[in-house]
Amino acid sequence: MDTLVSVRNLSLTYPNGYRALKDVSFDVQAGEFLVVIGLSGSGKSTLMRTINRLLEPTDGQVMVGGQDVTHVAGEALRHHRRSIGMIFQQFNLIKRHSVLHNVLYGALGEMPAWQSMAGRFSKEQVDEAMRCLEVVGIADRCHHRADALSGGQQQRVAIARALMQRPKILLADEPVASLDPATSHSVMRYLEVLNKEYGTTVICNLHFLSLVRQYASRVVALKGGAKVFEGMPEEITEEWFRAIYGDEAVEVEIR
């Protein structure tokens, strides 16, 4: 398999002096479903944002598809972000706009600013957006306002928006943390579809170990900004669990 993402000795210190990432290294193979686990504040979200370069690392290196993207800027940075889809815990849709438009915004990076701001999306783009909505099974809601949808449906719209970018990689930052258990599985299954059927490499932050065991092909655990575990989901034993989450932690299952 090809190494798609390679993170080398990555560190990130915020301007206020907080060290969010400390010397983290790991590789992601093309087609993997890599899950990153760890407590809140362990640096999972920061790690995601250094991969699609919403954040710039203070030290180390991020390679994607063999290219060093650690410090790319301007046009190259936008090109890099375009190749990576991202979904968020809070969905981050444009609430007042229609579902269809929210998906079309996945294409913003590939069109001139004036054309997008005039709302002139092409017929092909609209067709593409509808196809993306069909993949996540909510094409029939395309003319509803985004905030009229339930949480699970909004996350599926967000997946469709990411799909619109035809991404090599999908970053999912706590995609189900705001959802109830049943909805969580439906969202996770769409991520699985993207991974298995479309060959998209998925890097996903998760809280629940039961979900990790079910969906992850490999696991990286962070604690206090440093990598403490890397391996297969079934290797996370009771001891590892305590090492990652602390002695007080009790595993909660989500079925």
Partner 1 sequence: MSTPRQRLFSAIGGVAIDALAGAYAGLILVRVVVPSVLYGAEGTGPLSVEECIAMALGTAGCVLLGLFGAGIGRSLLERPQRSGWQAVVTANIGWFVFALTVVAGWVYARIDPSALFSAQGLQGAGRIFSALLSPEFDIIGEALRAMVETIYLAFMATFIAVPFSFAISFFCARNLMNDAPHRRAIYVFLRFLTNFSRSIEPLIWAIVFSVWVGIGPFAGMLALVVHTIASLTKQYAEQIEDVDHGPMEAIAATGARRSQVIWFSVVPQCVIPFLSFTIYRWDINVRMATIIGLVGGGGIGNMLIQYQGLARWNEVGMIVIIIAIVVWIMDVVSARVREALK
116 binds partner 1 (CB under 8 A): yes
52 binds partner 1 (CB under 8 A): yes
Q: Which is nearer to partner 1, 130 or 228 (CB)?
A: 130
189 binds partner 1 (CB under 8 A): no
Is 212:236 a contact under the CB 8 Å cutoff? yes
Helix (H, G, I), strand (E, B) or coil at 116: helix
How far is it, in rounded angstroms, from Cα 229 to Cα 220?
A: 6
95 binds partner 1 (CB under 8 A): yes
Q: Spell out where 65-148 has E strands.
A: 67-68, 84-87
Q: Which is nearer to partner 1, 22 or 101 (CB)?
A: 101
Closest approach of partner 1 to the CB of residue 60, in Å: 21
Is 91:151 a contact under the CB 8 Å cutoff? yes
96 binds partner 1 (CB under 8 A): yes
Can you name the residues that pair with 84 across neighbouring β-strands? Answer: 169
Is 124:110 a contact under the CB 8 Å cutoff? no
Contact range with partner 1 by CB under 8 A, out of 64-72, 90-98, 197-205, 233-241: 90-98
From 165, 195, 200, 201, residue interacting with partner 1 (rule: CB under 8 A) = 165
Q: Which is nearer to partner 1, 163 or 219 (CB)?
A: 163
Q: Which 68-87 positions form the footprint of partner 1 (CB under 8 A)? A: 78-86
108 binds partner 1 (CB under 8 A): yes
125 binds partner 1 (CB under 8 A): no
**Order of all β-strands in the sheet with 59-64:** 19-29, 3-13, 59-64, 67-68
User: If you ran DSSP here, which 8-state letter would residue 192 be given?
Assistant: H
How far is it, in rounded angstroms, from Cα 213 to Cα 202?
A: 15
**Which residues make up the interface to partner 1 (CB under 8 A)?**
52, 54, 78-86, 88, 90, 92-97, 105-110, 113, 116-117, 158, 161, 165, 171
